Chains A and B, each alone.
Chain A
Amino acid sequence: MTVQLDARPPVAPAPGRQRRSSGRLSRLDTRYSPYLYIAPFFLLFAVFGVYPLAYTFWVSLHDWDLLGTDHPFVGAENYTRLLADVDFWHALVNTLGIFVISTVPQLLAALWLANLLNRGLRARTGWRMAVLVPNVTSTAAVAIVFGVLFGREFGMVNWLLDLVGMDAIEWKSNRFASWVAISAMVDWRWTGYNALILLAAMQAIPRDLYEAAAIDGANRARQFWSVTVPLLKPTIIFCTIIATIGGLQLFTEPRMFHSGTNPIRGGPLRESQTLTMYMFENAFAPHYNFGYGSAVAWLLFALIALVAAVNVLVLRRLGGGAGPRKGATR
């Protein structure tokens, strides 16, 4: 558009210099103004994304007492110590365990919920909004309530177990039980959110595909697995990656699940201490070792990138080569 404007012959002979300069300006404008338009994002990302990342890395190379004024450079020492730290690996296993126990049922349940919501229900909007309600409650409040529900002696879950004649479970000091309790919290909060995202994707699937499938004699279940699920693949990948990032950074739920002395440990034997909690324990109370905590943060970052990559690969592989999909590609 600008080019066309400039190409128009001048009505009156204008001074050549001015014309040239306005032409140059417009060229500059064409070339650089797009960068200016996207600059706010990158500026904010640089300030709140790149800078903290780089600074954390810088800190992780130092022996950095949070309150100290002297921070000697120690190179990779924090990292080598961390790799030999059993509590770090313990927290990693906890994080992955809670991640798997929470994410897999969560996405399956979300898929199922989305499928239900996609049908002709009465008061459909009401149902769709209802599944999102847990997501708008405060995480801390949820965690405190669940922490009380899963209490050893005064908790409602153990009371219910007692009613049906089962032994009470030590939800906070049994490793697997605490993972399950925390996963329940995560799923309660996030299943509805994922269901809505999947629902949106489901509604973008053209109706004629289902009609064609129906004519071919596919029943509802077959339609779901052969038409809906393959076409949801990009969305499922998206949900999985988001769940991965959230799951590996899990902090508020396990932290607020425990109360009392030093809850950042996640139980007396660190039963449900996640990596972010371990990072916090080292960077802040009671160790105040900022360098070591930063090293944990960087390894966590590497881990998330790794798991996200594995996610993409696995899901790509899973979705490939299915028969009905071919006709369905957009």
Chain B
Amino acid sequence: MAVLPRRRLAAVALAATTALLVTAGCGGGDDAEADGPVTLTVDVFGQFGYDQLYQEYMAAHPDVKIVERGTGSNLDEYSPKLTQWLAAGRGAGDIVAIEEGLLVEYKANPGNFVNLLDHGAADLKGNFLEWKWNAGLTADGKQLIGLGTDVGGIAICYRKDLFEKAGLPTERDAVSKLWPTWQDYIATGEKFVAARTGASFLDAATNTFNTILLQTAGNTTGYSYYDTNGNVVVDSNPAVRQAWDTTMDIIDSGLSGKYGSWSEEWVSAFKQTKFATIACPAWMTGVIEGNAGPAAKGKWDIARVPGSGGNWGGSHLAVPKQSKHQAQAIELAKFLTSAKGQIGAFKAKGPLPSSPQALDDPAIAGSTNAYFSGAPVGAIFGTGAKSLKPVYMGPKNQAVRTEVENAVRTVELGQRSPAQGWTDAVTNAKKAAAK
């Protein structure tokens, strides 16, 4: 008789265990709003230069602890992760950095983010360049998704030691005079290549292409792959074609080292001094310093970009609706994007402020960068930052840009002729936009 109850007991125990396991799997996670200090997570990519600011903020707010994730990561790794967190409704930080290319996609689904206008952000409008502020607004202007961090004024960063080896001037003003236009830049590159220094003139044609495109588009049409009505205009926008043709000249002259941008090889090429110049938005200075390392300190310098002006990149800080500490997160985001915060970030890692007050501040205007041979970065990037003309980006800008830049890459690697490459760029861009 004893056998029976024991078996039944076992069955009951098993069922109970199973049920427990299942419920345990579903429960947990929702850590309640604790009374103690809150931990705010900030998700970034690349180098935002906030470390010092966090220390300062935490000192003033003992109840807040700040953790940054993703420092130094590649935007291509960061964006999909962020999108998944938003789609899944959990996982994202309390503050997330959004690059301008992705911002246009997120604006189509603003429900994922806290409307900062509901939290007193409207008063901050004057703290930002007008177009930077507008970029954070949804199409109807009723929701503010993100507060601007930086803008990407463009220059050319170059290796003085390689220029010297090639018999070119090394002093930054003289270097700037070498290339009033992109054609002059190519001519300089040809001289550099002829000197056989063992290095290429530039890192990758894709980076240069994007720079020329954003500059040309900013100065002419005001849009790149999409027109302002949302049509794909890769084949009809003269700015795209012009940037393409100039890039083809660069490839044709053998100037590119073909180090696929942001790849392991690209990073190695920095370390091994394998190229002399790189298109250099303000935020790129931090990337160069990180990739080339302390050994190259004082060997880099910054000259002006061929052509005139241009903007590449720049980000916003947003607070996802899934954040459990929205109020504290909004406060921190306001602090980080304030003129003071932007100046702090610029001093740490070089992202150029999007706040006119910060740009006017002597701390920026007079600032120099020791890593870049004491180049007056404040003057180089800051001058003209306020007159930057934004380039409109369409809803699937990232996907379309990927296709066109890949076409550039296939020509650079000799897999396609320039004509075939252009056909690929146009067809694949349209296909990507329709997906």
Q: Which residues on A are within 8 Å of B, measured CB to CB?
A: 1-2, 5, 22, 25-26, 29, 33, 36-37, 39-40, 43, 47, 65-69, 144, 147-148, 151-154, 170, 173, 258-263, 265, 268-269, 282, 284-290, 292
Given known A-B contacts A25-B8, A285-B83, A260 and B266 have beta carbons under 8 A apart: yes
Q: Which residues of chain B are near A173, meaning CB under 8 Å?
A: 413, 415
Contact A292 B11 (CB under 8 A): no
Distance, CA A232 to CA B173, complexed state (A): 76
With A29-B11, A268-B406 known as contacts, the answer to whether A286 contacts B398 (CB < 8 A) is yes
Q: With a CB–CB cut-off of 8 A, which chain B residues contact A40?
A: 14, 18, 21
Stretch of B107-115, B347-355, B359-367 contacting A (4+ beta carbons < 8 Å): B107-115
Closest chain B residue to A48, Cβ basis: B25
Separation of A104 and B398 alpha carbons in the complex (Å): 39
Contacts of A26 in B (CB 8 A): 4
Can you pick out 8 interface pairs between chain A and chain B where the beta carbons lie within 8 Å of each other?
A36-B15, A43-B18, A65-B108, A151-B265, A152-B258, A259-B264, A260-B260, A263-B76
Nearest first, the 8 closest Cβ-Cβ pairs linking A and B are A260-B263, A285-B80, A286-B399, A260-B260, A67-B109, A259-B263, A268-B409, A284-B80
Q: Which residues of A contact B410 (CB under 8 A)?
A: 268-269
- Cβ of B105 within 8 Å of any chain A Cβ, yes or no, is yes
The reply to whether B105 and A67 form a contact with Cβ atoms under 8 Å apart is yes
- Give the residues in chain A near B409, CB-CB below 8 Å: 268
Q: Is B236 an interface residue (CB 8 A)?
A: no
| Docked complex Cα distance between A265 and B263 (Å) | 13
Determine the chain B residues whose CB is within 8 A of the CB of A292 once the complex forms.
435
* B22 CB–A CB distance under 8 Å: yes
Q: Of residues 382 to 435 in B, which have CB atoms within 8 Å of A's CB atoms?
A: 396, 398-399, 402, 405-406, 409-410, 413, 415, 432, 435
B86, B106, B206, B265: which contacts A153 (Cβ < 8 A)? B265
Chain B positions within 8 Å of A147 at CB level: 264
Determine whether the beta carbon of A268 is less than 8 Å from that of B413.
yes
The reply to whether A269 and B415 contact each other, CB–CB distance below 8 Å, is yes
Establish whether residues B109 and A65, one from each chain, have CB atoms under 8 Å apart when the complex forms.
Answer: yes
Residues from chain A with Cβ under 8 Å of B264 in the complex: 144, 147-148, 151, 259-260
Instruction: Enumerate chain B residues within 8 angstroms of A289, measured Cβ to Cβ.
Output: 435
**Alpha-carbon separation in the docked complex, A26 to B11 (Å):** 12
**Chain A nearest CB, measured from B23 CB (Å):** 12
B261 adjacent to A5 (CB under 8 Å): no
Residues of B within 8 A of A262 (CB): 76, 402, 406
Cα(A324)–Cα(B79), bound, Å: 60
- CB of B112 within 8 A of CB of A67, answer yes
B87 at the interface (CB under 8 A from A): yes
Which residues of B have CB within 8 Å of A148? 264
Partner of B261, one of A33, A36, A67, A260: A260
Whole-angstrom distance between the alpha carbons of A170 and B263 in the complex?
Answer: 15
Pairwise interchain contact A69-B262, C-beta atoms closer than 8 A? no
Minimal beta-carbon separation of B2 from chain A (angstroms): 10
Q: Is the CB of B87 within 8 A of A154?
A: no
Q: Pick the residue among B4, B266, B398, B405 that contacts A285 (CB under 8 A).
A: B398
The answer on a CB contact under 8 Å between A154 and B263 is: no
Given contact pairs A147-B264, A269-B410, A284-B80, A261 touches B109 in the complex (Cβ within 8 A): no
- Known contacts A262-B406, A289-B435: does B11 contact A33 (CB below 8 Å)? yes
Residues of chain A with a CB closer than 8 A to B80's CB: 284-285
Q: How far is the CB of B338 from chain A (nearest CB, A)?
A: 29
**What 1/0 mask marks residues of chain B from 1 to 36 whose CB sits below 8 Å from any chain A CB?**
101100110010011001001100000000000000
- Complex Cα distance, B14 from A40, in Å, reads 9
- Chain B residues near A154 (CB, 8 Å)? 265, 268-269, 272
